[in-house]
Structure 1
Amino acid sequence: MSSGTALVYDEEMTRYKLLWVDPACKIEVPERLTVSHTALQEEGLAERCVSVPIRQATDAEILLAHSEEYLEAVKKTPHMSLDELRTFTQQYGDVYFHPNIYHCAKLAIGATLQLVDSVMTGKVRNGMALVRPPGHHSQRSAANGFCVFNNVAIAAHYAKKQYDIKRVLIVDWDVHHGQGVQFAFEDDPSVLYFSWHRYEHQGFWPNLRESDYDSVGKEKGAGFNINVPWNKVGMENSDYLSVFFHVLLPIAYEFSPDLVFVCAGFDSAIGDPEGHMCATPDIFAHLTHLLKSLAGGKLCAVLEGGYNLTSLAQSVCQTVQTLLGDPAPQTSELNGPCESALESIQCVRSAHKPYWACLKHTVAPPVSEPSTKRCKLAEKEEGVQAEGGQKGEGDGQKAEEEEVVWMKPPSRLAPPVHTEVALPADLEVPDRCDRVRSSLAPTLEILQRLRDNFFEGSAEEDALMSLCSVIALFEKMKKQEIRNGLALVPDVSVAMLCAAQHARMSLTNRLLLVYLGDGEIPTYVTEDGKALVVQISSKEPEEQKSRYQVSVTLLKGCSDVAGLMQAVLCLLLPLAYEYDPGLVLLVRVPGSGVGKAAWAQITSLLQGLAQGHTLALLQEGEEEAVGTTAASLLGDPAPSLGPLGAPLPEDMEAMERLRQRLQTHWGLLQNAAAKGKEVEEKGQNQD
């Protein structure tokens, strides 16, 4: 299995700059690249990556996404005078040319293709290309928005042609709409393009009607273009995660890509003069982690925008550190998305309802009167210039007047041991796992407590010692000696209760208990809010009275992969991220029906929580799942599930009723604005 993270960078791509006064272009500077690479070096991340050399793209590669006439025109720019360059530039929008930019643009494409080759040939698992000029705005016959050639569009065509890739996912988290990528693939069902971007009802650059939510693609590509328009600034971490949980991830898993590209623009981070958003750099660690479970882990991040040099460098480091497999930082203070974000989410889900099975149950229609549109119309009536009407213009001045301050992301230190296991000596696990040492004897107090609480009469020595091993793994995670653990126990229900009790008594942080399969979980586990239980099973639960005990019922139980993943992505993950546990307890009950690939996916996705502190419990007789579990805990990519079919309608309706009931307590479960929720409630009442 491939491992390692590629870093593609060369200082040569800094050797061009703006040669005349242009307020729209002054923020695109060579330092964007150098500060990003320097930060990776200072954090010790660059040396941990596999350095991949760059190369120049060939004409044939450029022509995968651009016209021959445009290529020939750009080829002439190295020989132009300053006046000729300015004249040439004026035919395009918000871009500048330099005698060396054609050379650098070819290097940017070549660097991106080198990354694709490294990932697809198994030289590395994933990677990032720090390139300049960026690419996602350039179109078939036009430069645009600082972009000369479309690096990611060319790379997607190249991957399909060179490696026979059938399905490509492109996630564009830049704050500007990557219209060049959209136009390149809007009629192509083999490429799923997702973009969130400042839009403000077409008041923000590039001011295109095609950037709105209802531009879903054309002809065979209908449904494969997803635009999430931000109609106000100030979006936060919760808004970004909500879009992932309720739009991108369900559709991406149903699509099942073979390769993932990220148009990694960090002008969507706090402090950026273009974006004016409030999402902190550490959120990109979580967004990256959530994408790593797709396509067998094959992910290529390619730098696009980012104009605050501090937040840019921090965001690049957070992204690369997650690609390297370091534990994601603890999330905190997550809550529901703002009303404007909910309006956008509601509109997108409604627009894509006809195309994706995971959205078939969506009830709320598009928002007819967005809360922000009245403000925008009032501005126009009063003659107020829409902020960002031209790329780079006006925003920088405002940023200079109002300095934004944020905390530097905390250090992400990994414990010395990644995964420790409590398993029989004759059971094979990956060599990278450590085994619990028998020398770690429990105290007499712990032994007596275990006998009193979990055994009637005399306890069998093996059963007693298995619980001691579970406690030992907990304590090591608490002391930051190990990141996660795995235990095979005689009775998983007893071990689960033991672990939950010990966590509540000895840990200061909250516990998330994820329980797959039928079984009873005592209510006392959650009565003080120190634990959140999410159970997915085939058994209808008794009436749930606590917000901390959530039961998801699937008619076919966990064997229904489509229904299971819908529950995980749209219910479990939003609940888990908002709860922000200090430790995750993952329990698999014998006969649960969960398949190896789905189990690996769930185990991998949950690693983004609690700084990776997860304890997985399996029962004796489930030895065939040990290897899969250990590999996922170690950070190996989860196997692809393949394109998911439609969940059972009864399950979708039940999950929707559950989500609606819980969303009053858990903000990240919301996926519709206030009026949309009223429509949903009416729809459920009619059912």
Structure 2
Amino acid sequence: MGWGLTDPPQEEDGLALQEEAVPACKIEVPERLSVSYEALVRTGLSDRCVSVPPREASDAEILLVHSEEYLEGVKKTPHMTLEDLKEFTLQYGDVYFHPNIYHCAKLAAGSALQLVDSVMTGKVRNGMALVRPPGHHSMRSAASGFCVFNNVAIAARYAKQKHGAERVLIVDWDIHHGQGVQYCFEDDPSVLYFSWHRYERQKFWPNLRESDYDSVGKGSGAGFNVNVPWNEVGMENSDYLSVFCHVLLPVAYEFCPDLVLVCAGFDSAIGDPEGEMCATPDIFAHLTHLLMNLAGGKLCAVLEGGYNLTSLAQSVCQTVQTLLGDPLPQLANLRSPCESALESLQCVRSVQRRYWSILKHAADSATTDVSNKRIKLAKAEEEKAETAEDERSQEEKVWPEPAERLRPPVCSASVLPDDAACPDGLKRLVSSKDLGPLLVSRIRNRSMEDAGDADGVATFSRLYTLIEKMRTNEIGNGVALVPDVAAAVECVVQDLGSDLVSRVLVVCVGKEELNYATADGKMLVVQISGEDKEEQKGKYYIPVCLKKGCGDTVGFIQAVFGLLLPLGYEYDPGLVLLVRMPGSGVGDCMWQQLIGLLKGFAKGHTLVLMQTNDGACMGPTASALLGHPAPPLQELLTPLPDDGGALERMRERLQADWKMLQTTVSSGNGETAKS
């Protein structure tokens, strides 16, 4: 199994013709592909990918989306005079046809199809197609916004027709609304289209009313179109993550796609002249990671926009490196989502809750008074903003170079009893560090009911070694089978981890009582079980009760996306400790999904603790730790009203301390919530 990268096609430069005929097109340059590919070569990422050669899309494939009349018109462009090309171009908006663009557009669409073939047949696990011209604005009978053929829409219909995909998820993180994709699938319940885009209450291109949050699809496709409009510029990493956690991921898991297609436009990154957003390139590592356990890992990213060549190349590398399975960068110092982002988030959740049971308990839309006040404030600032626009566009945005993402020499290790078999791919730790008499004495004082003293000390000595090697990045992650998981947790977090890691995120699945203090912030404990716990032991202990227990997949998913992931991103741990208590009841598929999602924190340093008699779960655990995609979850049932309501009330209660849990706009004076 490999990771695919389509070779960028060779193109002729029509820039001089573009600038003369359509000045807006001057930013869509061939260097967009060359700098991206050169960055992949320079960093060695291209050498780790399976090369997928480009090909031209056939007429039949293009006609899956476009009209025959439009295709025949584009076919004539290579033979037109310059004046004829200009006249043909002026039929459409912000697009230019030069003599070679028909060939390039066929290669762009065909390259996306080549990638779909490679992923759907299992030749590669996932991949990215570096193509131009982009495609998501192109409509059935019209070019638009630099786009000639709609590469991703064609790919979706092709996957359904040739490979039998029943449900396709399209995630469009380009800064412009992909209206061509929306129009293509707005009445089709087999394709879920998600788009966030700069909107500014319809003042930003393509200036369409149907780009707003309440355009949810038509007929049987109602609810399968999800628009998140950005009504202000300057959105940051926290804004993007909030929308993923509180809208996209819950809906996507309920949809349960067979294939994920990404309209990978990087004009939503910092420094881009079109987007004017402030999200850094490393956010795309996390967005990609969060999608990779859907559809059994079958994901195809297809390049769309991105016009700052520096942030474009960095963002492409971050995306490809994540597809290759490298540890994710840490997103430190996440701030609260801004008020404008929260307003959009609240509106989207409110309008979509009638279609998706997992959002059933979302709050109502922002009140008319709050929305009107924000509109009035926006109008009051409009003249000032317009005056400063030219100055702002000339400002040179500066952001740090993405941190190097180093793969540890050992991906995954295990601490196991002598008589337990070690799963393939895991390194068995047999040696350990001398702990010293003081630490040994503390360990001996812990309860080890099912193990002799010597065995207990040896086990915890190996655990210490494993954690230390994670800290130095010699080992990526690990799993330990221990005789007493409660004692092991206490030992790790109070004796071992505190010496090595500044912050530990403890995720406990099961009802065993946890008895250690968490008030100093060195640990954040999130416990998911089927048992009511005391309300809270402070800010850093969060018990989540599911009435049907941890075997309730939809309730578990709600807890993970609505609480656990936002908490984890805001807490920013140095180690994740995942604890499977005896008799937890969590299913193997959900367990693998959980491990995969948690690997997005702490540069992937995740330690899984399980009881010795839970050894039957070692296979799924090892698979997830090694980076294999989790099997898709079964169809999610309607969540229990008690669970959904309780989780929503808990989220509302906790958001005073944890800002990433916010999903509603404040009713105050409308000022930004960012500190």
- What TM-score range do you get, normalising by the shorter chain? over 0.9
SS in 1 for 2:10: helix
1:517 aligns with 2:515: no
SS in 2 for 1:558: coil
Aligned twin of 1:663: 655
Deviation at 1:548, TM superposition (A): 0.5
**Pair 1:457–1:320, CA change in 2 (3 A):** closer
State the Cα deviation string for residues 435-467 of structure 1 (Å, max 9, x = none). Answer: 102365544443222113445999433233222
State the Cα deviation string for residues 644-672 of structure 1 (Å, max 9, x = none). Answer: 11111101111111111100000000001
Aligned twin of 2:445: 452
Aligned twin of 1:685: none
**Pair 1:114–1:456, CA change in 2 (3 A):** closer
1:302 aligns with 2:294: no
Aligned twin of 1:644: 636
Aligned twin of 2:398: 405
Aligned twin of 1:286: 286
Distance in 1 of aligned mates of 2:381 and 2:540: 45
**Pair 1:458–1:581, CA change in 2 (3 A):** closer
Distance in 2 of aligned mates of 1:72 and 1:372: 47
Deviation at 1:677, TM superposition (A): 13
State the Cα deviation string for residues 370-410 of structure 1 (Å, max 9, x = none). Answer: 35422444477x698699xxxxxxx8x65652111110101
**Pair 1:662–1:355, CA change in 2 (3 A):** same
Equivalent position amino acid for 1:633 in 2 = L
Aligned twin of 1:467: 460
Distance in 2 of aligned mates of 1:436 and 1:30: 51
Distance in 2 of aligned mates of 1:676 and 1:195: 29
Aligned twin of 1:683: none
Distance in 1 of aligned mates of 2:384 and 2:538: 52
SS in 1 for 2:118: helix
Q: Is the 8 A contact 2:329 2:603 kept in 1?
A: yes
Deviation at 1:259, TM superposition (A): 0.4
Q: Could you tell me which of 506, 510, 522 is aligned with 2:499?
A: 506
Deviation at 1:541, TM superposition (A): 0.9
Aligned twin of 1:268: 268
1:207 aligns with 2:196: no
Equivalent position amino acid for 2:579 in 1 = V
Aligned twin of 1:140: 140
SS in 1 for 2:313: helix
1:319 aligns with 2:319: yes
1:39 aligns with 2:39: yes
Identity of aligned residues (%): 62
Aligned twin of 1:6: 4
Distance in 1 of aligned mates of 2:160 and 2:668: 40
SS in 1 for 2:23: coil
Q: Where in structure 2 are the equivalents of 1:160-559 lying within 5 Å?
A: 160-368=160-368, 369-370=370-371, 372-378=374-380, 401-438=394-431, 440=433, 442-454=435-447, 459-524=452-517, 526-559=518-551
SS in 2 for 1:534: strand
Distance in 2 of aligned mates of 1:385 and 1:471: 59
Distance in 2 of aligned mates of 1:439 and 1:270: 45
SS in 2 for 1:621: helix
Aligned twin of 1:156: 156
**Pair 1:16–1:435, CA change in 2 (3 A):** farther
**Pair 1:540–1:379, CA change in 2 (3 A):** closer
Deviation at 1:423, TM superposition (A): 1.8
**Pair 1:574–1:677, CA change in 2 (3 A):** farther
Deviation at 1:509, TM superposition (A): 2.3
Distance in 2 of aligned mates of 1:330 and 1:676: 33
Distance in 2 of aligned mates of 1:367 and 1:179: 28
Aligned twin of 2:673: none
Distance in 2 of aligned mates of 1:504 and 1:550: 20
Distance in 2 of aligned mates of 1:664 and 1:485: 34
**Unpaired stretches in structure 2, ≥5 consecutive residues:** 671-675
Aligned twin of 1:390: none
Deviation at 1:635, TM superposition (A): 0.5
Q: Is the 8 A contact 1:213 1:229 kept in 2?
A: yes
State the Cα deviation string for residues 179-207 of structure 1 (Å, max 9, x = none). Answer: 00000000000000000000000000000
1:578 aligns with 2:570: yes
State the Cα deviation string for residues 551-589 of structure 1 (Å, max 9, x = none). Answer: 000111101010011101110000001000000000001
Deviation at 1:496, TM superposition (A): 0.6
**Unpaired stretches in structure 1, ≥5 consecutive residues:** 388-394, 679-687
Deviation at 1:335, TM superposition (A): 2.4
Q: Is the 8 A contact 1:18 1:97 kept in 2?
A: no
Q: Is the 8 A contact 2:347 2:365 kept in 1?
A: yes
Distance in 1 of aligned mates of 2:256 and 2:612: 33
Distance in 2 of aligned mates of 1:265 and 1:35: 15
TM-score, scaled to structure 1:
0.94
**Pair 1:321–1:458, CA change in 2 (3 A):** closer
Deviation at 1:429, TM superposition (A): 4.2
State the Cα deviation string for residues 617-651 of structure 1 (Å, max 9, x = none). Answer: 01011111101001101100011003311111101
Deviation at 1:425, TM superposition (A): 4.8
Deviation at 1:18, TM superposition (A): 4.6
Q: Is the 8 A contact 1:128 1:300 kept in 2?
A: yes
Q: Could you tell me which of 581, 593, 602 is aligned with 2:585?
A: 593
Distance in 2 of aligned mates of 1:256 and 1:200: 32
1:629 aligns with 2:621: yes
**Pair 1:379–1:339, CA change in 2 (3 A):** closer
Instruction: Name the stretch that deviates more: 312-321 or 444-453.
Output: 444-453
State the Cα deviation string for residues 45-75 of structure 1 (Å, max 9, x = none). Answer: 0111111101111000000000000000000
**Pair 1:78–1:14, CA change in 2 (3 A):** closer
SS in 1 for 2:594: helix
Equivalent position amino acid for 1:191 in 2 = V
Deviation at 1:492, TM superposition (A): 0.6
**Pair 1:669–1:400, CA change in 2 (3 A):** closer
Instruction: Name the stretch that deviates more: 321-330 or 364-373.
Output: 364-373
1:617 aligns with 2:598: no
**Pair 1:288–1:64, CA change in 2 (3 A):** same
SS in 1 for 2:667: helix
**Pair 1:56–1:537, CA change in 2 (3 A):** same
Distance in 2 of aligned mates of 1:90 and 1:474: 63
Distance in 2 of aligned mates of 1:196 and 1:33: 23
Aligned twin of 1:391: none
**Pair 1:629–1:383, CA change in 2 (3 A):** closer
